[in-house]
Amino acid sequence: MLAAVLKDFNRLELEEVPTPEPGLGQVVVRIKSCGICATDFKAVRGIRRNVSFPFIPGHEPSGVVSRVGQGVRGFREGDAVIVQPSGYCGVCKSCRMGNTHYCEHAFTTGGDGPEDVRPGAFAEYMLTEANTLYLKPDRISFDAACLTEPLSGAWKGVIEKSEMSVGDDVVIIGVGGIGLLCLMVAHAAGAGRCVAVDLNPRMRERALELGATHAVDASSNDVRERIYKILPEGPDLVVEAAGPIAAVKLMVSLLRRGTRWNIFGITTHERFELDGGLAHFLEARMDASFGTTPRAMQKAIRLMERGLVDVEKTISHRFPLKEIHAAMDVMEHSQHNKVIINP
């Protein structure tokens, strides 16, 4: 099969590799669509260094079951499926507490986090465990279905962790791919006012089209003042979905009594300061969210199936696998939202 194999940083090569064979409890999926996550791009470009070579990236796939191993129940050849990239054992303490993303025996297909990293979905076929699969509803396209995992992360952060309520005023800092999904979840959940903050005017315009009531230029010297002009009582929830430490510091500056923060975008080990007494007396609450769970995946599928969130509106580019280098070049510049590979 054809696969994009990362041999070293900045050395992504298209080559023929053996098509995987399923073992006990495993399935082989013929990949139809796979989103490019920023972490994939960072691995290719060497920005993210926790990579072992050779490595097939790609962890946002949907496709069709091609082969089924022994002991698999609930799936058969020809089923259209969505793949959760984070695998779990189901029997450790964390799994049985519902925190499968904390699994002591976790693996990932094409992503990062656990030590057990398996070949991903920038390929024609991918091998995974059957318990990571979800049947794709007919009304959801393969391109939309491959965005289930990032949408599930947005739902998990905004709704499950930060407990957004109907009528809450929400600020989303950074409205790239994941920020737009957080915005769309907040809008679907009945946010009162949604303020999108971003450096890029195109991203701000797109956010206004997808549910933001206001947009603020992050490069302004008075971002906090502009937000408080829109929300005189301050935000109920601030989601940092940008990544840079400056976005986290902006998030902290927006607190008022009862503000909830979600550190969603930053993954680098950088520091910021908190006034302990101020945080105490304002009863500010900080949450964070990473990864996904079966519960979050099912919620994301329902959001799409019920027509509450149309993730295809976040897709800006599509490329065949043979043009993955052109796709990575698009990821270099800011004029894109979600980029999809269609093997």
Residue closest to 36 by CA, chosen among 96, 152, 121: 121
**pLDDT score of 274:** 87
Superfamily the domain 2-150+292-342 falls into: Medium-chain alcohol dehydrogenases, catalytic domain (3.90.180.10)
**pLDDT score of 80:** 98
Q: What is the pLDDT along the chain (343 residues), one digit of tens a residue?
A: 999 999 999 999 999 999 999 999 999 999 999 999 988 999 999 988 889 999 999 999 999 999 999 999 999 999 999 999 999 999 999 999 999 999 999 999 999 889 999 999 999 999 999 999 999 999 999 999 999 999 999 999 999 999 999 999 999 999 988 999 999 999 999 999 999 999 999 999 999 999 999 999 999 999 999 999 999 999 999 999 998 899 999 999 998 999 999 999 888 788 988 888 888 888 989 999 999 999 999 999 999 999 999 999 999 999 999 999 999 999 988 678 899 999 9
CB 259 within 8 A of CB 238: yes
Residues 6+ apart with CB under 8 A from 156: 289, 292, 293, 296, 299
User: Could you write out the DSSP letters of every residue in 124-186?
Assistant: SEEEEEGGGEEEPPTTS-HHHHTTHHHHHHHHIIIIIIT---TT--EEEE--SHHHHHHHHHH
pTM of this structure = 0.94
CA gap 326, 78 in Å, rounded:
31
**pLDDT score of 335:** 77
What does DSSP assign to residue 187?
A: H
Domain range annotation of the chain: 2-150+292-342, 163-288
**pLDDT score of 296:** 97
Q: Which fold has domain 163-288?
A: Rossmann fold (3.40.50)
Q: Map residue 318 onto helix, strand or coil.
A: strand
- Which amino acid does the sequence have at 226? R
219, two tokens:
């490069």
What does DSSP assign to residue 296?
A: H
In the sheet where 170-173 sits, what is the strand order? 214-217, 194-198, 170-173, 237-240, 260-263, 285-288
> Does a cis peptide bond (omega within 30 degrees of 0) precede residue 22?
no
Termini Cα distance of the chain: 10
CB 47 within 8 A of CB 1: no
User: How does strand 2-8 pair with strand 11-16?
Assistant: antiparallel
CA gap 129, 83 in Å, rounded:
9
User: How does strand 26-35 pair with strand 125-129?
Assistant: antiparallel
